[in-house]
Structure 1
Amino acid sequence: MRVPLVSWEKVCVPKCEGGLGIRNSYACNLAAICKLSWWIYTKPDSLWVQWVHHVYMKGVHWNDYTPKSDTSWSWKTIYRVRQKFDLAFSSSVQWLPGPHEYTSASGYNWIRNKQHVVNWEHTIWNSWSVPKHIFINLLIVREALLLKDRLFQLGVSPDADCFLCGTATESHVHLFSQCVYTRRLLHLLSCKLKISLPAVNLLGWISSKPWANVKKWVTIAWIHAVYYTIWNQRNSARLNGYVMCPNVAFKQVSSILNLR
């Protein structure tokens, strides 16, 4: 089974935190089950809550209750989920006894794995770039691609030399900013867009520019395409032993973006 490039915990976070915005199904299930605990706390007139008190709790408060060994699996599951949310319920600032009702969405947001907010969200996710370019650039900013520096450490690659230039260790920093092949492509891009590009952190640099939206998104789409081409040519060198001339590769990028 192939090892994923990015852990599931990091994928299942909002895009503003560097993920794909996919909901974690396990956390969603916990948040939905916790709704039953909230009913026990707040809806004593509910028929189901009255039945729970009569059959299981028998006058014991929900905070002090511990299920017996012979109780059903489903009821023990509700109890275990309540324990996971104990801190939120005991703080009394979100759902009890405050004015805001518990919702599965608020429970999910409380229990999910939170990450730090990233500063590159808006330079990765946009409707101007080609989707496959966006995906590769997401892996680049996360430094999640399997380059030779990592493969060499794992004992998979016999060396760590860059496939494109062969003069330095192939790392994310080298391949996408320092490599001779990369610098040539970025120089062609700089001439094409008639702007002076920095050597590193292009996406962060663009996000700080007070440009009009059209100019900004066009520039981002070009950088995404160039980075994708660098990764594509690196793989071509690894698999086929062949690399396009930077000028030819840049013409290919131009044709793709013109169609886009």
Structure 2
Amino acid sequence: MNRINSICRNFLCGASSDYKNPPNINWDICCMTKDEGGLGIKEAKIWNKALLGKYVWWLANKKDHFWVRWVNHVYMKDTSWTDYMASSDCSWSLKKIVLIMSIFKQAYVSNNWLNSSKEYSVKAGYDWLRGPQPKVEWSYVCWNHLNLPKTSFICWEFMHKRLPTRDRLLRMGCPIDPVCSTCCQAPETHSHLVYECAYAIECFKLLHCRQHICLRVQELVHWFSTVRRPTKLQKRFIGACHVAVIYWLWRIRNEAKMNAVVRRPEVLVSQILHDMKARVLALNNAPPLPRDQAWFQNL
């Protein structure tokens, strides 16, 4: 299981099963659900225990399976599943299942999985093993279905403040200039990159002007949860455009660092709006509402 986790972690960080780069974000966070601030990746060790929990549930309910009848007849006999201890002549797999029994004893009772009205599921067992986790407010913005996967991933790293900005690289001991390579006016931090950089401010100002909204970027998450005036499609489109700007700010920052070239904000915003319009038309099977069509034409 550790090897499976290692392969998944290495592939996420370096697109290879071999170790290349240290991860930007802790693997435990990656294995949280998207609502909790993670990527929704299954943690292999916990998932394996949840799968074995299905066998325990079969034994506890004496399901009509050949394997269950065989274990009850040869090993458990008349012993209750809660009191059974694996004997020395048991197979390796049965010993592992017996170990899982001690973990799930309380869960089967507290979740009513022993009642015929509620069956055990691997997903429910996995969630129980993980325990309750707090939700994050920005998950809807980050994982909006109109977002491109690459823009969502960069936005996810930005929300966790794990992009390798110059201030972080300096803390790691890299001898680099701390000044932002895009505006060349202030030290580069996560906050400066999106909220304070003159280039970023101009990009968001142009975007808001084209979309006819009055919004501070810092209030985007709160705006999504409180404002009701735009239609659902318009809100998703506005959110996807903001996430795309964050992605392009990071990409342009890298281009300025490597090539000393920064594209004009109006060109960038026009490209983002054009690409997002094309994505809306590609993903929506039904034509937009007349209100949405008029709004898109005025962008």
Partner of 2:215: 197
Distance 1:248 1:241 in 2: 17
Distance 1:75 1:178, change over 3 A: same
TM-score for the superposition, normalised by structure 2: 0.75
Distance 1:163 1:68, change over 3 A: farther
- 3-state secondary structure, aligned to 2:93: helix
- 3-state secondary structure, aligned to 2:181: coil
* Residue identity opposite 2:234 in structure 1: K
Q: Which of 112, 126, 137 is 1:119 aligned to?
A: 137
- Deviations, residues 198-255 of structure 1 (Å, cap 9, x unaligned): 1514233233211221321221122122212211111112222222232333333344
* Residue identity opposite 1:106 in structure 2: A
Give the C-alpha shift of residue 81 in structure 1. 1.8
- 3-state secondary structure, aligned to 1:200: helix
Give the C-alpha shift of residue 182 in structure 1. 0.9
Distance 2:239 2:110 in 1: 45
TM-score for the superposition, normalised by structure 1: 0.85
Distance 1:103 1:217, change over 3 A: closer
Distance 1:64 1:169, change over 3 A: farther
Q: Which of 177, 188, 210 is 2:206 aligned to?
A: 188
Is structure 2 residue 229 aligned with structure 1 residue 214?
A: no
- Which region of structure 1 is more displaced relative to structure 2, 212-221 or 21-30? 21-30
Distance 1:31 1:140 in 2: 32
Q: Which of 96, 100, 103 is 2:118 aligned to?
A: 100
* Residue identity opposite 1:111 in structure 2: L
- 3-state secondary structure, aligned to 2:218: coil
Whether the 8 Å contact between 1:148 and 1:157 is mirrored in structure 2 is no
* Residue identity opposite 1:136 in structure 2: I
Is structure 2 residue 172 aligned with structure 1 residue 145?
A: no
- 3-state secondary structure, aligned to 1:85: helix
Is structure 2 residue 190 aligned with structure 1 residue 172?
A: yes
Distance 1:102 1:160, change over 3 A: same
* Residue identity opposite 2:94 in structure 1: W
Distance 2:175 2:106 in 1: 48
- Deviations, residues 102-129 of structure 1 (Å, cap 9, x unaligned): 2223222222365312222322223333
* Residue identity opposite 1:187 in structure 2: K
Distance 1:69 1:168, change over 3 A: farther
Unaligned runs of 5+ in 2: 1-19, 280-299
Distance 1:147 1:94, change over 3 A: farther
Q: Which of 222, 240, 248 is 2:267 aligned to?
A: 248
Distance 2:260 2:107 in 1: 57
- Which region of structure 1 is more displaced relative to structure 2, 234-243 or 202-211? 202-211
Aligned-residue CA RMSD (Å) = 2.7
Partner of 1:234: 253
- Which region of structure 1 is more displaced relative to structure 2, 144-153 or 50-59? 50-59
Is structure 2 residue 27 aligned with structure 1 residue 27?
A: no
Partner of 2:95: 76
Q: Which aligned runs of 4 or more in structure 1 are off by greater than 4 angstroms?
A: 44-47
Whether the 8 Å contact between 2:24 and 2:162 is mirrored in structure 1 is yes
- 3-state secondary structure, aligned to 1:96: coil
% identical aligned pairs: 36
Distance 1:47 1:195 in 2: 64
- Which region of structure 1 is more displaced relative to structure 2, 143-152 or 45-54? 45-54
Distance 2:207 2:223 in 1: 15
